[in-house]
Structure 1
């Protein structure tokens, strides 16, 4: 198999697992990372307005038994629900001896004849152009906040969860938190320990167990006024601080809009086949890690292996080109909300199975155990969002099942 010259943009989890398999397959690899360390979103910084969305105290929402790369387990002595420091340590160990160019920003990626021309810059130096056969875009999607209320008349303090770091900052304050996804819940539970009062507003705010200082309203914030928020029902809620936990949009500052378009309020990346391959360059331009509501690390690895199978020629694309071109239209037809284009959740298992089949590689048998863990955790989270992380998992001898033990 002839080797390819491969560019990987980003040294977070998606970029690192792609690099691991590309190097193993004998390709020549360059990884460009704009910061001075590996880990992407798992790197904590006290600074706000930077790439990191990590807060000071954070346990993973998935256990170590479900968010590992194949053949690379987490340390045995770690609890199932780890700190972000533990995950970063795992990624640093995983990336030993990788060809990473740190503090290097990718400014531009464009087609130049039969190659990809990638222009980078390091600090104040002049831009440098490189040429590659293949480009993997692994720049993450937790750095460009989606804040529908940023241009409001609110006179208090408004921050997006991207810039939340620690609960002490909100001591004695009346806080409204908008959005009850994983970050919204984590931040609610932390801020409830220091704030005077917390109101959690979201259509998903129907949790049976929350701290006594938290009021939850299963609604939507219709608007923000100078002293707080107004719900769909017209209720006005006063706030000193509003923390907006409404997720993130995609952003690729190095790709021209003639190559990639962001649709449906920048929540959909187009034109792609299988959330992964560029429709016009399906064997040389790939996006790893776009799907949301997934087990992340194992899914990144399956995506990377499928992409690499296309590069080597061992994997398959549909023989009918229209099947590639119509992937987006078919998926959008089945969605009520086009902004949910990349959200997989229950679809992720069939998605990974399909990629393994098309890629001609064996599906990881342990994935069924990961699926069982995932389903168990999602169920427990609905019942008790405070306590679901307060357990450890023990695997049986052949790792086909698990049992739950206390901490």
Structure 2
């Protein structure tokens, strides 16, 4: 526990407004830190923000660097886990009258739940939408354990193409996995576990 005498509010950047990002923002706000969330899409949700654009021609694993990686959600998707285990511990994913009240609801209901979470905790004003982070790095010549370690974040506003550089005390990267340097395979070609013997924690199945 940090004593009030030694406590200092930090200026924190959260990258990504998916479930992990909005929870991080809520926790930072609750602890009295100043935080902003930078989100490249027009709304919160991350993978749960359904995009109905035509994605034919994209790399099956989303590896084309010239195309924006779209959400994996498809139009008829329903969750595979009951809503009781999907919600945050202090904000239950409860059925709401007039919406999808099924125990295994559609992806639309998950996104609505995340929006409810943002509304309830007053997070939306902390989020910069349509803004993409271009660079994150240490500011100056500080060591990893330096007490004055700062981070510089360069972002670009998509519509105006305005570039902004800011300095933060800490950065939370909540955008999922960017690069995995070990074995990868798509679940579509998985058949038996034998090829993965002794590969625990070393393999990503997409």
What is the TM-score with the length of structure 1 in the denominator? Answer: 0.37
**Alignment map for 1:227-266 (pairs within 5 Å):** none
Equivalent in 37, 45, 49 of residue 39 of structure 1:
45
Structure 1 equivalent of residue 190 of structure 2:
202
Q: Mind listing any 5+ residue stretches in structure 1 that lack a counterpart? A: 149-177, 181-200, 205-217, 221-333, 343-407
1:215-230 alignment runs, 5 A limit: none
1: CA distance, partners of 2:33 / 2:83: 30
Cα distance in 2 between the residues matched to 1:56 and 1:179? 20
> What is the alpha-carbon root mean square deviation over aligned residues?
3.0
Distance 2:48 2:173 in 1: 18
CA contact (8 A) 2:84 2:94 kept: no
Partner residue, 1:318: none
> TM-score, normalised to structure 2's length?
0.71
Q: 1:59 to 1:102 in 2, by over 3 A?
A: same
**Structure 2 stretches lacking a partner, 5+ long:** 1-6, 59-68, 141-148
Separation (CA, whole Å) in 2 of partners of 1:29 and 1:72? 21
* Displacement of 1:24: 0.5
Q: CA deviation at 1:338?
A: 5.3
In structure 2, what is the Cα distance between the partners aligned to 1:179 and 1:17? 29
Aligned residue for 1:138? 174
Count of matched residue positions in the alignment of Structure 1 and Structure 2: 166
CA contact (8 A) 1:41 1:140 kept: no
Q: Are residues 1:179 and 2:42 paired?
A: no
Q: Aligned pair 1:79/2:102, yes or no?
A: yes
2:138 counterpart (103, 111, 123): 111
* Structure in which a larger fraction of residues adopt helix: 1
- Change beyond 3 A, Cα 1:34–1:79: same
Decide which of 13, 19, 30 is 2:25's aligned counterpart. Answer: 19
Q: Which residue of the other structure, out of 11, 35, 38, is the alignment partner of 1:5? A: 11
2:48/2:73 contact within 8 Å kept: yes
